[in-house]
Amino acid sequence: MASHVALFRAPPLSSISTRQRFHANHFSIKGLKLNTTSSTCFPCSTTTHRGGSCSLVIACSSSNGREPDSANDDGVKAVERILEEKRRAALSAKIASGEFTVEKQSGLLPVLRSLEKLGVPNEVLEFLFGWVEVNPRIPEAKGSIKAIRSEAFFIPLYELYLTYGGIFRLNFGPKSFLIVSDPSIAKHILRDNSKAYSKGILAEILDFVMGKGLIPADGEIWRVRRRAIVPALHQKYVAAMIGLFGQASDRLCKKLDAAASDGDDVEMESLFSRLTLDIIGKAVFNYDFDSLSNDTGIVEAVYTVLREAEDRSVSPIPIWEIPIWKDISPRQRKVNAALKLINDTLDDLIAICKRMVDEEELQFHEEYMNEQDPSILHFLLASGDDVSSKQLRDDLMTMLIAGHETTAAVLTWTFYLLSKEPRVMSKLQEEVDSILGDRYPTIEDMKKLKYTTRVINESLRLFPQPPVLIRRSLEDDVLGEYPIKRGEDIFISVWNLHHSPKLWDDADKFEPERWALDGPNPNETNQNFKYLPFGGGPRKCVGDLFASYESIVALAMLVRRFNFQIAVGAPPVEMTTGATIHTTQGLKMTVTHRIKPPIVPSLQMSTMGVDSSMSLSDKDEINQEGQVYQAQS
């Protein structure tokens, strides 16, 4: 049976307030022993303007989820910032000096090393002296399972990382995990020795929904499916998708148009979730969920299953595995009914697509694409992919989930960050106005929207989706200087890598300018695994380009038409997480129309094999060159 621990739940941004931290030299996070002056904050940042320049001040709200009180004025913030910087510097120095991370080594070590050199096998040495004696020990932190249940997970991991370093062991009663926050060890696990690692706990948790789909699959099944699916996301397909992204984003603009005109606030997180569901449904299996206007049936079923997957990933006891529970629990019955509805729908779509392919005069080639139905499913069937219906369903379901919540989370946190940094928003709008004007984005624009791309790059650094990658060792290995055994559960904390003060200047600051505009697009290779927005190695995301373009198109199309601000009286924006980082209470924003930007010369619109029902906003007109002239509000 799977070992289930709360994998991902993160505390609200506020759960450990800056002020609390400065007042507590030794505190414990609900059972986790933390013997440190702990004051690291997270990007629940506020912007202040001093002397005409903008600076980002990291400020967490208080632990009850309310905004900091009035005493939290600029002066206090400045003092807190200085204290924070001092503490970080002192702690970094201690960590760098090895005070926290160096473990006592066995006095027998020199003897054992000599025996090793003489060729005495490791198993014999282990037998004689015991594993622990032979090798340097990984630093350890201890905690209680309650801490993981009630606390969010990746934030305490960050605190522990500052104390224990790039690799440490976290023990919860009998359960033990290795937490990796070191780029070279991450590279070793994800790329250099990836064959020695499986998806472990993740595969067990996701089995009910993804089966042997690409994300949880391991070994031969994964190899075969990856080889079949990757070619489906070829360049021509992604270029066609730009049109789909534009049209779906336009539907969202329509909603925002109405809200802006009526003066209604909008909850952006759920709107982004619907936008990306509509896009991924069309892109993967040519199904229009139309979730921006429709909330029942299949849409509700998808959300029921998604929530269940997330809840299972944070539940300490797998009660759903108790046989009788499955049948009597109303919740489990609802989940099963939802799964059945989605599976039946997918089966129907597969059958429809098979008929289309049969009727087609098919000439399959490398960049094959059916103009009416450019979906991944159509490609897979047309390629003659020899696959069972169950496997095909698992793959479609995997891509539906992988490509939906991730991009929605990226957009949500990007708009949150932008709302805190008007300087970045202005620069972004300036670029979008000058490159796009009022027309739909094309594939050519993706290269030109450089600052827009950097905004997404930086948002993915501050809010990586997912914040933790999960692996299990399939054989003994050596991580850094530490030998590890087969069967170790490992969390690679992308959050820690992306927030590490050792790896980044002003790590918590939202600064798209840290990525040179004319430099290469940052990725795990050119950043040497300190930046892992889409993972790395053979299991890297297959949808990275798709998702990047999707985010760029949606961002550009929204900011060129509207201004966004956190709504007055909105609940504080705090983090919680399932597979991705969610807000606890949504991202409530006030949307206002922008003054019409200048019209620039148009480019040809890319061809779109997409549903004509995806119309432009009612008030818009489209000319023959693909320009959309927005009605003045």
User: CA angle at residue 206 from 203 to 211, to 5 degrees?
Assistant: 80
Minimum distance, C-beta of residue 601 to ligand HEM, in the bound complex (Å): 31
* Comparison of 70 and 388: residue with beta carbon closer to ligand HEM: 388
Annotate 75-111 with three-state secondary structure: HHHHHHHHHHHHHHHHHHHHHHHCCCCCCCCCCCHHH
Which residues 194-233 are close enough to bind ligand HEM by CB under 6 A?
214-215, 226
Minimum distance, C-beta of residue 321 to ligand HEM, in the bound complex (Å): 23
- Of 402, 497, 558, 614, which lies in the binding site for ligand HEM, with binding defined by CB under 6 A? 402
Minimum distance, C-beta of residue 279 to ligand HEM, in the bound complex (Å): 8
Minimum distance, C-beta of residue 621 to ligand HEM, in the bound complex (Å): 31
The number of beta carbons lying within 10 Å of the beta carbon of residue 303 is 17
Angle between helices 298-313 and 201-210 (to 10 degrees): 160
Minimum distance, C-beta of residue 544 to ligand HEM, in the bound complex (Å): 7
Minimum distance, C-beta of residue 465 to ligand HEM, in the bound complex (Å): 4
CA-CA distance, 268 to 303, in Å (whole number)?
16
490 binds ligand HEM (CB under 6 A): no
277 binds ligand HEM (CB under 6 A): no
* Count of residues in contact with ligand HEM, rule CB under 6 A: 21
Minimum distance, C-beta of residue 460 to ligand HEM, in the bound complex (Å): 6
* Comparison of 438 and 524: residue with beta carbon closer to ligand HEM: 524
572 binds ligand HEM (CB under 6 A): no
Q: Which residue is nearest to ligand HEM (CB)?
A: 543
The number of beta carbons lying within 10 Å of the beta carbon of residue 426 is 12
- Of 399, 490, 557, 614, which lies in the binding site for ligand HEM, with binding defined by CB under 6 A? 399
The answer to whether 353 is a known ligand-binding residue is no
CA-CA distance, 376 to 285, in Å (whole number)?
6
* Comparison of 157 and 162: residue with beta carbon closer to ligand HEM: 157
191 binds ligand HEM (CB under 6 A): no
* Comparison of 162 and 280: residue with beta carbon closer to ligand HEM: 280
Say how far residue 372 (Cα) sits from the centre of its chain.
31
**Residue 431 and residue 530 in contact, taking contact as beta carbons nearer than 8 Å:** no
473 binds ligand HEM (CB under 6 A): no
Which residues 519-558 are close enough to bind ligand HEM by CB under 6 A?
533-535, 539, 541-543, 546-547
- Of 57, 425, 469, 616, which lies in the binding site for ligand HEM, with binding defined by CB under 6 A? 469
Minimum distance, C-beta of residue 625 to ligand HEM, in the bound complex (Å): 29
* Comparison of 408 and 614: residue with beta carbon closer to ligand HEM: 408
* Comparison of 11 and 543: residue with beta carbon closer to ligand HEM: 543
* Comparison of 162 and 399: residue with beta carbon closer to ligand HEM: 399
Q: For the chain, how are helix, strand and coil distributed in percent, rounded to 5?
A: 50, 10, 40
* Comparison of 4 and 498: residue with beta carbon closer to ligand HEM: 498
Quick note: the x/- pattern for ligand HEM over 351-390, rule CB under 6 A, is ----------------------------------------
| CA dihedral for 521, 524, 529, 534, sign (positive or negative) | positive
* Comparison of 163 and 583: residue with beta carbon closer to ligand HEM: 583
From 5-13, 169-177, 403-411, 502-510, span contacting ligand HEM (CB under 6 A)? 403-411
403 binds ligand HEM (CB under 6 A): yes
Name the one residue in this structure whose structure tokens are 């624009």: 445
Q: Which among 183, 397, 408 has a CA at the least distance from the CA of 274?
A: 408
Which residues 404-443 are close enough to bind ligand HEM by CB under 6 A?
406-407, 410
* Comparison of 457 and 617: residue with beta carbon closer to ligand HEM: 457
Enumerate residues 6+ apart whose C-beta is below 8 A from 219: 198
Minimum distance, C-beta of residue 401 to ligand HEM, in the bound complex (Å): 9
Q: Is the peptide bond prior to 466 cis by the omega test (within 30 degrees of 0)?
A: yes
**Residue 29 and residue 174 in contact, taking contact as beta carbons nearer than 8 Å:** no
Q: What is residue 606's DSSP assignment?
A: P
Q: Which among 27, 23, 41 has a CA at the least distance from the CA of 81?
A: 41
Enumerate residues 6+ apart whose C-beta is below 8 A from 535: 190, 469, 524, 541
Q: Counting Cβ atoms within 10 Å, is residue 173 exposed (0-12), middle (13-18) or buried (19+)?
A: exposed
Q: In Å, how far are 246, 419, 552 from 436, measured between CA atoms? A: 12, 22, 12
Minimum distance, C-beta of residue 394 to ligand HEM, in the bound complex (Å): 11
Q: Which among 394, 390, 385 has a CA at the least distance from the CA of 224?
A: 385
Q: How far apart are the two ends of the chain, measured CA to CA in Å? A: 59
Binding-site residue positions for heme: 541
Binding stretches for ligand HEM (CB under 6 A): 214-215, 226, 398-399, 402-403, 406-407, 410, 465, 469, 533-535, 539, 541-543, 546-547
Binding-site residue positions: 541
